[in-house]
């Protein structure tokens, strides 16, 4: 099943995370759209997620995962030892999301914002919606 990752298209860390996922997703399970894109906005609306959401969202079938749950669901499907990160799902979501929110609040300060996007290869470009 194809899955869609919605990410902050203005965030350097988020962009690097997308590149990280692409390298560890040889089956091309994940497609991508920025939260700021029309596709991203439509997907947020169809899953009743507020448009001002700035956290990562994983759309898998009819389900939408946000914040730490989305990151762990993604990690579970990557090749390599990243699957082991899924063990943190045993922590209560409010605790996981507390740390997620602390990191997310500072991501622009630590990693900066993008002024423009790198142009991916045609093979990678077709995974962006």
Instruction: Find the angle CA(115)-CA(100)-CA(82) to the nearest 5 degrees.
Output: 90
| Predicted pLDDT at 78 | 96
Mean pLDDT score, 9-34: 92
Give how far the C-alpha of residue 26 lies from the chain's centroid of Cα atoms, to the nearest Å: 17
Rounded to 5 degrees, what are φ and ψ at 65?
Answer: -110, 145
Rounded to 5 degrees, what are φ and ψ at 89?
Answer: -65, -20
**pLDDT of 29 above 90:** yes
Mean pLDDT score, 6-20: 90
Question: Which residues are CB-contacts of 78 (< 8 A; sequence separation ≥ 6)?
Answer: 21, 24, 25
In this prediction the pTM is 0.87
As a residue count, the chain comes to: 129
Rounded to whole angstroms, how far apart are CA atoms 7 and 74? 12
Mean pLDDT score, 16-25: 94
pLDDT tens, residue by residue, 110-119: 888 876 555 5
- CB neighbour class for 109 (10 Å; exposed up to 12, middle 13-18, buried from 19): exposed
pLDDT tens, residue by residue, 65-86: 999 999 999 999 999 999 999 9
| Predicted pLDDT at 10 | 85
């Amino acid at each position: 099943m194809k899955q869609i990752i919605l990410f902050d298209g203005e965030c350097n860390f988020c962009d690097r995370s997308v590149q990280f996922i692409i390298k560890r997703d040889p089956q091309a399970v994940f497609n991508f759209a920025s939260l700021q894109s029309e596709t991203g906005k439509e997907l947020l609306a169809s899953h009743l997620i507020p448009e001002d959401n700035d956290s990562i969202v994983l759309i898998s079938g009819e389900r939408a995962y946000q914040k730490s749950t989305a990151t762990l669901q993604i990690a579970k499907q990557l090749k390599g030892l990243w699957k082991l990160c899924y063990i943190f799902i045993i922590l209560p979501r409010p605790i996981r999301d507390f740390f997620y929110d602390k990191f997310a609040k500072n991501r622009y300060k630590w990693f900066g914002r993008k002024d423009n996007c790198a142009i991916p290869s045609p093979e990678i470009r077709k995974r962006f919606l």
